[in-house]
Amino acid sequence: MITLDLIVQAFTGIQIAQTGPMLTEAVIDSRVVIPGALFIALPGEKSDGHRFVGAAFEKGAQVALVQQDMPEGMRVLDLRRVNSSSEELSIPEMPFCLRVDDTLQALQDLARFWRRKLSLRVVGITGSVGKSSTKELTAEVLARKFHTYRNPGNYNNEIGLPLTILNLGSGYERLVAEMGFYYPGEITFLCDIAQPEIGVVTNIGTVHAERAGSQEAIAKGKSELVQALPAAPEGTAILNYDDPYVRAMADQTKANVLFYGLDAAADLWADEIQGCGLKGIQFRMHYQDKSVRMEVPILGRHSVQTILRAAAVGFCEGLTWQEVTDGLVHSNTQLRLVAVQTNSGALILDDTYNATPESTLAALDLLDELQGQKIAVLGDMLELGQYEKEGHELVGQRAAQVVQHLIAVGPRGRTIADSAKEVGLPSTAITWVEDALQAADVLKYNLQSGDVVLIKGSHGLRMDRIAAILEENA
């Protein structure tokens, strides 16, 4: 981990004589502090980290980055008054605070400094759908050959990515970093910190269109990743050949380009795809005049795209076919969806992490592969902007082809229900409810053996509560 002397050097340019202690981790939440941690006190609208510096020290934090005056008696080294021309620098006894102008910028600057001290290669991943699952599977493949780290959870923004880098030890050889897109220039900013050599773009969907305005605007934002890559041969852009928005990004990078997809025109491609229900999928993968038939225990035919992305990174980083296939076949990654068998014999497919039209259609395709009485509980898909009506209609139309009963949740769920009815699902097979708790009430006393229930909706609807209630009543 980063040491105190390097932190001082990052902010002042001064190389102090003593190496100083190695800090165990960088955190912004005092509740998860472990002994030896660096605590960054970030101001916020709801909670100000400066209120918890004392609590962080009590739990063992050694250094805290602060931008406010601290209580009397708390040791503070004011770095605003120190520069490389200062003759002496007296380091206080630990624990103590490092005073800076802006703790968020200090976090980012420190991560940028530390990244350039590390001898590793970074894989950046962005796209509308599939970033997190691609990150997880890619990291598992690379771990077959390299000491590999990945950003945890949703650490994919201007706070999470710098924290991820600061928590990298110098022994890591690869970092797999998911990068989110919320505003133009954000991915460029994240790339300036992380310095990725490989960039993976999954697809350009409609999620975040409410903020970005259109798929074209989303594509422009995501393309910042491939634009930031180093030129060939050091840099490689791994692009989805099946998505025309992503395929066009090949013209926006100086890096090597590797296309993946379901088209034989791609460099790495798959065919003969067969869904095997809860056992996973079977397919044939082709790369450089070699083909291998595979069976991977990841649910849904749509997951072959994720598998191809992880394989592409593995091949780019010099892994053998055996290492790539071992990483895929023995992966513990699951694409967010959790299958739970209840005591009543019903099967719950909990896919409530989030929802877009693309991911919901893929989940319905998986449901279609399974045997039993099929029930879909589908809620609002948020942040679709101009694609909101079209997206919900498409989901309703596909649901009508798959399910015996549809429970639509939320105000936008009405569009799903209406669309399903228009294409032939009987009104007696459709129920609309206002929220997740009402949906759970409809289901919890009516599930029978052989029922298969898909639950899917945007995180804001908290549809995860449905699965929890059904499991409690199983």
Tens-digit pLDDT profile for residues 100-146: 999 999 999 999 999 999 999 999 999 988 888 899 999 999 999 99
Number of other residues whose CB lies within 10 A of the CB of residue 137: 29
140, amino acid identity = E
pLDDT value for 81: 82
**248/61 Cα distance (integer angstroms):** 48
Last residue of a domain, one of 278, 296, 329: 329
Is the per-residue pLDDT at 18 higher than 80? no
Last residue of a domain, one of 102, 137, 157: 102
> Is residue 417 located within the same domain as residue 301?
no
Q: What kind and span of H or E run contains 433?
A: strand 430-433
pLDDT value for 154: 82
Cα 85 versus chain centre, distance: 43
170 lies in a domain?
Answer: yes
> Is residue 81 located within the same domain as residue 133?
no
Instruction: Write the pLDDT tens digit of every residue in 287-318.
Output: 999 999 999 988 888 889 999 999 999 999 99
* pLDDT band, very low/low/confident/very high, at 344 (cuts 50, 70, 90): confident
> Is residue 256 located within the same domain as residue 194?
yes
pLDDT value for 473: 64
Of the candidates 64, 62, 54, 48, the residue with the CA atom closest to the CA atom of residue 97: 64
* pLDDT band, very low/low/confident/very high, at 393 (cuts 50, 70, 90): very high
Number of other residues whose CB lies within 10 A of the CB of residue 104: 17
Is the per-residue pLDDT at 324 higher than 90? yes
> Is residue 243 located within the same domain as residue 347?
no
Of the candidates 472, 464, 410, 423, the residue with the CA atom closest to the CA atom of residue 447: 472
Please report, for the domain that includes residue 403, its CATH number: 3.90.190.20
Please report, for the domain that includes residue 281, its CATH number: 3.40.1190.10
107 lies in a domain?
Answer: no
Is the per-residue pLDDT at 340 higher than 90? no
Whether 25 contacts 167, CB under 8 Å: yes
112 lies in a domain?
Answer: no
Instruction: Write the pLDDT tens digit of every residue in 201-257.
Output: 999 976 655 565 688 888 999 999 999 999 999 999 999 999 999 999 999 999 999
* pLDDT band, very low/low/confident/very high, at 151 (cuts 50, 70, 90): very high
Is the per-residue pLDDT at 188 higher than 80? yes
**91/76 Cα distance (integer angstroms):** 9
Q: What kind and span of H or E run contains 203?
A: none
pLDDT value for 210: 56
20 lies in a domain?
Answer: yes
Straight-line distance from the first to the last Cα atom of the chain, in angstroms, rounded to the nearest whole number = 46
> Is residue 264 located within the same domain as residue 371?
no
Q: Name 74's Cβ contacts closer than 8 Å, sequence gap at least 6.
A: 53, 54, 96, 97
273 lies in a domain?
Answer: yes
> Is residue 250 located within the same domain as residue 361?
no
| Cα Dmax for the chain | 82
pLDDT value for 358: 84
Last residue of a domain, one of 55, 72, 102: 102
Is the per-residue pLDDT at 332 higher than 80? no
Is the per-residue pLDDT at 69 higher than 90? yes
pLDDT value for 304: 95
Domain total in the chain: 3
111 lies in a domain?
Answer: no
Provide the domain limits for residue 207. 118-329
Mean pLDDT of 76-90: 79
> Is residue 225 located within the same domain as residue 135?
yes
264 lies in a domain?
Answer: yes
> Is residue 249 located within the same domain as residue 355?
no
> Is residue 254 located within the same domain as residue 387?
no
299 lies in a domain?
Answer: yes
* pLDDT band, very low/low/confident/very high, at 446 (cuts 50, 70, 90): confident
pLDDT value for 173: 97
Which residue carries 């924290």 as its tokens?
163
Is the per-residue pLDDT at 164 higher than 80? yes
Please report, for the domain that includes residue 83, its CATH number: 3.40.1390.10
> Is residue 170 located within the same domain as residue 267?
yes
Q: What is the pLDDT of the chain when averaged over all its residues?
A: 91
* pLDDT band, very low/low/confident/very high, at 468 (cuts 50, 70, 90): confident
**247/387 Cα distance (integer angstroms):** 22
Length of the chain: 474
344, amino acid identity = S
